[in-house]
Amino acid sequence: MKNEVITQQDQTFLQSIKRQYGNAYLSPFYRIGLILLGLPFQLIVFIAFIYKKYIKKQNGQVWEEARQLLIDKGYDQQLKSELLKQERNKQAFFDKSLSEKETSKRVDDLFNQQFKKAVDKKADEIFKNSNREKVTYLGLTEQFIGQLPLFILSVVIGFPMYLLMLIHSNPFVKYLFERLLMMMLVILGVTVIVFTLLYFSPSDAARNIIGETATQEQIDNFNAVYGLDDPYIVQLWRTIKGVFTFDLGNAYSGNQDVVNTIMRRFPVTMELAIFALLIALVIALPAGIYSAVKSNTLFDHVFMFIALIGLSIPSFWQGLIFILTFSIELGWLPATYNAENFSSLIMPAVVLGTLLMASVARMTRSSTLEVMNEDYILTARSKGLSNGRVMLRHAVPNALIPIVTIIGLQFGGVLGGAAVTEQVFNINGIGSYIVERQFIPDIPAVLGGVIYVAIVLSVINVVIDMLYALIDPRIRTNLKRH
């Protein structure tokens, strides 16, 4: 009894695995992944499929059945008689007579070819019209997986295939996996485009670094050291490999490792971006919601005017005014950034936060206003709910999608490097690094900076998409369907 229970559990488990494999196989992208990741197991299935579909079909019961059916109908004698008549007519027409032995040999050769084709055709017809199970690659693979010994073999020699099936079985993990894969393709595309533009740029990196007085020998030596004398394809492949192995080489100017330099400057830019975002959200979200509630009032008009000014003020001008006022005139805050002094981060964060604040506030107001006119808001109010409860429980959650979008894009832009603000406050961040290097042009440094920006924006977009699923249940439902 216990063995029967175990067998039933095994069968249920294998049926579940077969179902998951079938669902993943129906998607062209995952089908390719299953075949590549489980290649040793797939080769065994493919050999069995070829044998069952072609060899066994020709040498097996169906082929013999078709052959015997044609013989019983006298098709073989009729065909041989027709071929013999055609051969004799041909000899008479060309006035070329052959011996009976040669004529018989020619007729037999033609008979064997045409009779085999007739049997194959009849076998296909019998196979299609019969109730026999059609041999398909997917069906045969599922049969293999459904047998415990073969399933264990498939796990041993094709384990990565089951990891892909596990990813496909979870809608959220599948969505995240697909977005990460798309991110890799975006990074690859950006790498190819940026490298190609820099490669065909008329600017000569060797002459810019060494100077106009550099001799040809010095230029050739520089190109040899940095591999600039290699063909385009070789340099492109080296760059692509370096992107995915985090090794972009050394910068031309200063000979510093590009990846290490970017990672060393990243914490400063991250700290500045997070601080600026916090300042913007603390002010923009409540003000934007309140402005929507009090639309067309004095507060709404004043707030929108201030937000418009925030969008219009150039960052460098605002930074210089802050330095002049709060550093030189009042002496409250340091004029330049110092990693050991947190107060030196306030002014650059406020400057960056002003633009973020204005964009988020305007989007919050417009999105909340749009939601407030929906039918379910009127229904909630008709039930006697307070205005504050209606806004916080019904209006604001449904207005978050566009707000999250603008927050993510703005934050990604700041994290990608706020070059102007970093230059004004003397911050050694990513933005100032990219600006400094692009005028040389320092190809490894510029390429590293651009790829960093592409990675940041791609990661931010993935996070935004995952937040969509957490915020909106309709998106979660749609993910589960697909």
Domains parsed from the chain with CATH numbers: 2-169 (no CATH), 258-439 (1.10.3720.10)
User: Rounded to the nearest 5 degrees, what angle is found at the Cα of 263, between the Cα atoms of 258 and 267?
Assistant: 145
**Measured distance CA(81)–CA(110) in Å, rounded:** 12
Q: Which long-range contacts (CB under 8 A, 24 or more apart) does 367-370 make?
A: 367/399, 367/400, 367/401, 367/402, 367/403, 368/288, 368/289, 368/292, 368/293, 368/395, 368/396, 368/399, 369/292, 369/295, 370/399
pLDDT at 62: 64
From the CA atom positions of the chain, what is the Rg in Å? 37
**Measured distance CA(463)–CA(104) in Å, rounded:** 79
Please report, for residues 34, 37, 67, 195, 266, the alpha-carbon distance to residue 162 in angstroms, rounded to integers and kept in the order given.
8, 9, 44, 37, 37
Q: In sequence order, what E strands does 39-92 have?
A: none
Residue written as token pair 């001008």: 317
Q: Could you count the other beta carbons within 10 Å of the beta carbon of residue 222?
A: 19
Q: Could you count the other beta carbons within 10 Å of the beta carbon of residue 17?
A: 19
> pLDDT tens track of the chain, all 482 residues?
444 444 666 678 788 888 888 888 888 888 888 888 888 888 988 888 887 766 555 445 666 777 777 777 887 788 888 888 887 788 777 777 777 777 788 878 888 888 888 877 777 776 666 545 566 788 888 888 888 888 888 888 888 888 888 888 877 788 888 888 888 888 888 888 888 887 777 777 777 777 777 777 877 787 787 777 788 888 888 888 888 888 777 777 777 788 888 888 888 888 888 888 888 888 888 888 888 777 778 887 887 788 777 777 777 777 888 888 888 888 788 877 777 777 778 888 888 888 788 888 888 888 888 777 777 777 777 777 667 677 767 677 777 778 888 888 778 777 765 777 777 777 777 777 777 777 666 778 878 888 887 888 888 888 887 777 777 666 666 666 65
Tokens read off for 138: 């997917």
DSSP string for 290-336: HHHHTTTSHHHHHHHHHHHHHHHS-HHHHHHHHIIIIIIIS--S-SS
pLDDT at 61: 63
pLDDT at 60: 55
Tokens read off for 226: 């940095």
Question: What is the value of pTM for the model shown?
Answer: 0.65
Phi-psi region of 338 (alpha: psi -120 to 50; beta: other; left: phi over 0): beta
pLDDT at 6: 47
